[in-house]
Amino acid sequence: MSDMTTPRDTAAGLSSDAIEGRLMAHRTVLAHILAHLQQGGQATQLMEQLDTLSVMQDHQEDPGAVISGPEVIEGNLAEEIRAVVLAASPDRIGLGEAG
């Protein structure tokens, strides 16, 4: 196995394409881990918790209201969790059905 150390860098010097590439890499790795756990029947509770986290709890009275501030981050967080969970389908990863 190759050396797993990485340079100590920050997102400040990265282009938006580089940041997107890193985000996609993290999503792919997490999806593969979750898919393998599902295949082994070890992820039921975890997947239920992720499903709960993937829904933004905005408690807004007005469904047409424009969100701003921390709510935008929370919405993006929920969206990214949904993307990871959807990508973690054992069929999408090529593992067959969860066992």
Tokens representing 63? 């469904």
- Sign of the Cα pseudo-torsion (43, 44, 48, 49, in order): negative
**CB within 8 Å of 2: residues ≥ 6 apart:** none
Q: What's the whole-model pTM score?
A: 0.61
pLDDT in tens, the chain (99 residues): 455 555 555 667 888 899 889 888 988 898 888 888 888 777 888 888 888 888 866 555 555 666 677 778 888 888 888 888 888 887 777 776 544
Tokens representing 12? 């400040």
The pLDDT assigned to 53 comes to 83
